[in-house]
Each structure stands twice: as structure tokens, then as C-alpha cells.
Amino acid sequence: MSKLTPEIEKLREARRAARRRRPARAVRICTTGCRALGALEVHAAFERELAAAGLTDKVALLKTGCQGICAGAPVIGVDPEGILYLGAKPEDVPEIVRTTLVGGAVVERLCFQGRQGPIPKRVDIPFFAVQKPLVLARCGRIDPTSIESALADGSYEMLERALTGMEPEAVIAEITASGLRGRGGAGFPTGRKWSATRAAPGELKYLICNADEGDPGAFMDRAVVEGDPHAVLEGLLIAAHAIGARQGYVYVRAEYPIAIEHLKLAIAQAREHGLLGDNILGTGMAFDVKIKAGAGAFVCGEETALLASIEGKRGQPRTRPPFPAQSGLWGKPTCINNVETLANIAPILRMGGAVYAGLGTPTSKGTKIFALAGKVKYTGLVEVPIGITMNQLVNDIGGGVPAGSAFKAAQMGGPSGGCVPARYLDMPIDYETVKEVGAIMGSGGLIILDGATCMVDLARYFMDFCAKESCGKCPPCRIGTTRMLEILTRICAGEGKPEDIARLEELGGQVKKNSLCGLGQTAPNPVLTTIRHFRSEYEAHVNERRCPAAVCRRLIGFKILPEKCICCGRCAKACPVPCIAGKIGKAPARATEQDRENGKVGEPFAIQSALCIKCGACFDICPVAAIEKK
């Protein structure tokens, strides 16, 4: 244990200075995830308008990471009022400056629209009400490219505490007491992983942050690295202290360029502040971090494949034993933690393991970030205590399924996960319960499905993903996923055979049992859970050649209901074949005598089904829902 060093004093002084400079009046624009929806243009507009209004010095304009409610991109926070503006365009900026920053009033049309009208303040918005942001606390508040911004918000305080007041064993004890489980998906107790690596013999140990977030729809790790990279570094440093690692890697997918950019900056800044290197904060601790950009293979999120990839080998998993804690990167003891796991470390030390363990359920402690997506009103990133119900997530936070449809199921855990049907809405979401119904917590991807989703097609989609992402090393996964995909494709095409469902179950079970790594061991989950909970949909496909959700093209037909057709002809125009014929004019039912005389009466349009390619263009364009799909 080290004493206070001059370097720590210096860091503290830097933090105090940063806090003194922290602005009260600030506009925070998410420019990471929201960049795709014009956040940078909005930021530029703010720069212009603030200058024009002479407010440049009075209002701090911050580019932040994700603020959570992605449905409202670009998301703009205005402080100190705590106002949240959603979906603003550059042309809205003058009004915001004029009304809010100058006038002190709210632009209501850009606020969250609640049931009883606009809700200007973030704290009042139901989307945030149930959340418990520990990991995401700084995300969306600080400027992730500025270490001062992070320091002012408490970054590295827990590292200081660990280095000055806690033996490695004490850190591990605290993490063990917190009950933290790996947030990457498998849920292995972090404290146990750390003790195993600490106990492994060897001078040189590696610590790896797994930021190879590959599940379609999951983006919490990306948000953390982009929005608060120092949280990852602080977690790594504390972990390195605990397990005695000398070298760290962040394995981040190349598809996350902003994350890589922010992380690079953060590493450089941390090094400048003596937080990385041979003598960290003057305590004699040596640790450094390198970034390794992955090349886009899903399987490289699997830890042994990730190790191979860092070593410059083909990203393929290997069999265990030996476990990475004994023989990992280049044969040295290695600890691999996911981004969210590492970002939990400082909050745990801050609140104490016991308090943290008070959050969540008896077996699943703390908070979990979910990427809420799909057929829900407010999509985005939410951090909630584990054990919250699906109902709370979907309805209280997500605002429910949009009108006109109903919640059918939630797909949890991406391609490795499964579907949780509506009857489990009140199920608490924790590692064990989710597993019982056939899904997994996984990394926290949560896709809400409504009646318009065909479960067979969904299973086919995920199986296609897994078959393409299988590394090809072991036959059950390499061939098994492809054979399952073939069966699913056949069923969706209306060519299913009576024995196909049983074959999928048998094959799926064997692929799970026999595969080498987590990819293959979980790849059948979407299929098996949809069969389990939605068997009738499979049977309809196979036995009746019918897709109940009217999604599988080969099994559906479009028909124009003549009594509803208004003879507008848009369907015929949209038809790419074309196979729709009729006459534009007034609908016969509504035509007047005069129309008849003037020859302005149309003829209802009709589809020549033999030619129809079932693209659905007519269905989508029809203004009066005169086209039936079934």
C-alpha cells in the first residue's frame, strides 16, 4: 500500500481546478450515437447562434456521449435547468438559444411528450424515472475527449483510494462482496476471476478489456467507451492493481471508430497525468494499455478467440483448459473483463461492495444496462437495477408498444439469447430467471417484438447471423448452424416438412451440447425458445403453409379489397412488376352521377397474384388500407 505521493496531490489539484472551472450554464449535445442523426450539424448551429447572441463565453457547449434516450436523437441537454430537447434540427437552434438560453423559457415542442403534455426536465421523464445510472452516471454529462471534464466529475478518485488505501486483496474482497458478475453475457463472478488471475503464478500478467460488442442491437459498451472512456481506464487500473497485471489491452471492434478515437485520447491524457506507465501516480505501480482493433468477427468477443486475435492469429476460440487465468495471452495469466464490468468497478468502490450488493436480486447484484430496441416507443440505453420486470422495462421506461399493436415477446441477448413471450411480462429480469425461460441476459440487448413479427422468420434471421459468424472450427457450430438455417429457410419458404420442427429441436440441442465455444453453445437459443413459446407459428408454417404474422413472403398473398379501394392507382405505380391493374378515378361506391357522365369513375385495382412478387410495396403505399395481407 502506498502513501499519498506528490503525483496524487498533483492529480487532486488538477481535479479541484477542473471543478472550479466547471460551468453552471451548459448545453450538452450527444455527438456519438446521435451523430448519425445530425448532432454535429446541430452543434455547429449552436456555435453560430451562441456567437451571434454573444453567449459563447457564458454558455459551455459540450459534445458528450450517449444521454440514453436514443429515440429522441439528437439529444440536447440544457443545464442547470436540466431541460432535455429531443430531435432538434439545426433550424431549431436559434429558437432554443432565444427562448431558453436568453429567455429562460422552454421550447415545449422539442420536449419529451408525455401523456399529459410536454415534460421539459429530464428528471421528470418516465424513461429515466426507474433508472439507476451507476455505470452511465457520467456518460452524456462529461466531454469524453477531456480528462479535466472527467476528473471534475470524479474520475480516478477510486483509483486513488485503491492505490493509497487498499491492498489488492482488499479490492478483490470488495468486488467479491459486491456480487458483481461479468456483464459480457456469461455472468461469471468478477471477484472469482480476479482472485484466480492474482493467484496464478507468473511475473507477467495481462488484463484485457473486451470491447468487442457484437450482438446486433447491443451498444452499451460502445456508449461507455465513447462517452466515458476514463471509466474503462479507471476500471482497468483498479483491476490491474488487484490482480497484479502489468499490461492491459482494450480489444475494441474496428466498427467503433469514435470509441477508438476517444479511447486513444483518454489513454494519452491518462499517461500525461501519470495514470499509466512505469510509476503510476508515484506509487511504483506499472501498467499500460494498448488498443487492439478487432477486424469484425463476432466470435472474437469470445475470450479465447479474442486472445488469438490479439496474438495476431486467426480469431478462433480454443478449448479450455487451460483457462486464460492460467494461460492466456501469449501463455501468461490473463484476466478478461467486459467494458460494462470494468465500468462498474469504481462505482462499487465508491458505494462499497455491500451497498452495491443491496441493488438487484439475491443472485444478481447491481445494475445492468439494456439496449432497448424494436417495437417500443422510446428506444435507447437504460441502466436499471437487476430484477426489474419486463413490464417496467417495456412499458414504464420504453413507453410501451406503439398504438395499434401489442407486445408479443422480447428477444433478449441477441443471437445467443432467446425470446421471452408476453406471459412473462412480470418476470423479474435476472441471470437465473431469464435462463429458466430459455433466454439469457447476455450483454443486454433487448428487442421488443409486436404482432408484426414472425417468430420463425426471427429465428431464421438470428440463425443466419450465427451461421455467418461461426468461425468454422468445430463441426457442430460450423455445419449445424447451416443445416438449421436451411431447415428454417425451408419452413419460411413454405417447404417445411412435418419432421422439421422435431429435427430443429434435436439438432439445436446437439449443437448446444457439442459446440466448442459460447457462439455455438447458444446459437440455437432463438430457435429453441421460439419453438418452445410459439410452436403454433411453426406448425402453421409447416402444416398449413401459412405465416400468421404475414411476414414470410412465400406464404402470404396480397389482395385489394374492391369495396375499400378508392381507385387512386398508387399501388399500381408502386408495383415493380407490374401486376396491378385498374382504372384511376372516383371509387364506384362514391361516384356521383356527374362523375359517371364525365367518365371519371375508376375501376378498383386488382393484383394478378400469379405475377406478384410479394414485395409489399402496394401494401405500404395504400392510403386507405384497402390491401389485405395474409
Enumerate residues 147-186 that contact other proteins by CB under 8 A.
none
Establish if 507 lies at the interface with other proteins (CB under 8 A): yes
Stretch that binds other proteins, among 9-17, 152-160, 204-212, 509-517 (CB under 8 A): 509-517
Residues in Cβ contact with 598 at an 8 Å cutoff, skipping those fewer than 6 apart: none
Per CB under 8 A, 497 contacts other proteins = no
Q: Is 510 in the site for other proteins (CB under 8 A)?
A: yes
CA–CA distance, 605 with 626 (Å, rounded to integer): 10
Contacts of 130 (CB under 8 A, 6+ apart): 384, 388, 392, 396, 397
For 209-223, b/e burial (b = at least 16 CB within 10 A) is: bbbbbbbbbbbbbbb
Task: State the distance between the two ends of the chain, measured CA to CA, in whole angstroms.
Answer: 70
Taking the complex as a whole, the smallest distance from the CB of residue 398 to other proteins amounts, in Å, to: 34
Interface characters, 514-553, with other proteins (x: CB under 8 A): xxx-------------------------------------
Residues 427-466 that bind other proteins (CB under 8 A): none
Q: How far is the CB of 493 from other proteins (least distance, A)?
A: 15
In the complex, minimum distance from the CB of residue 476 to other proteins, in angstroms, rounded to a whole number: 6
- C-alpha–C-alpha distance, residues 269 and 64, integer Å: 17
* 3 state DSSP class of 449: strand
Contact stretch for other proteins (CB under 8 A) within 166-174, 367-375, 420-428, 469-477: 469-477
Q: Is 614 in the site for other proteins (CB under 8 A)?
A: no
Closer CB to other proteins, 243 or 507, in the complex:
507
Exactly one of 22, 350, 435, 478 binds other proteins (CB under 8 A); that residue is 478
Q: Verify binding: residue 480, other proteins, rule CB under 8 A.
A: yes
- What is the per-residue burial (b if ≥16 Cβ within 10 Å, else e) of 428-443? bbbbebbeebbbbbbb
What CA–CA distance (Å, rounded) separates 429 from 368?
A: 10
Yes or no: say if 421 and 467 are a contact pair by the CB < 8 Å rule.
no
Nearer to other proteins, 56 or 327 (CB): 327
CA 525 to CA 523: how far, in whole Å? 6
User: CA dist 537 to 413, 454, 502, 506, 530, Å?
Assistant: 22, 8, 14, 18, 9
Angle ∠(429,34,469) on CA atoms, nearest 5: 60
Site residues (CB under 8 A) for other proteins, limited to 310-339: 314, 316, 318-321
> What CA–CA distance (Å, rounded) separates 59 from 63?
13
Task: State the alpha helices, DSSP H only, in 278-338.
Answer: 303-310
Write the CA distances from 619 to 522, 557, 581, 584, 606, integer angstroms: 37, 11, 15, 17, 12
Number of residues binding to other proteins, judged by CB under 8 A: 31
Candidate residues 266, 297, 394, 552; the one interacting with other proteins per rule CB under 8 A: 297
Among 513, 554, 583, 630, binds other proteins (CB under 8 A): 513
Report the candidate in 536, 415, 113, 419 with the shortest Cα–Cα distance to residue 407. 419
CB of residue 211 to other proteins, shortest distance in Å: 21
Task: Work out how close the CB of 472 gets to other proteins at its nearest, in angstroms, rounded to a whole number.
Answer: 3
Task: Give 513 or 583: the residue with its C-beta nearer to other proteins.
Answer: 513
Q: Residue 481, interface with other proteins (CB under 8 A)?
A: yes
Residue 67 binds to other proteins (criterion: CB under 8 A): no
Residue 288 Cβ vs other proteins, minimum distance, rounded to whole Å = 25
**Closer CB to other proteins, 59 or 474, in the complex:** 474
CB closer to other proteins, 321 vs 623: 321
Contact 353, 177 (CB under 8 A): yes
Positions touching other proteins (CB under 8 A) are: 297, 299, 314, 316, 318-321, 467-476, 478-483, 486, 507, 510, 513-516
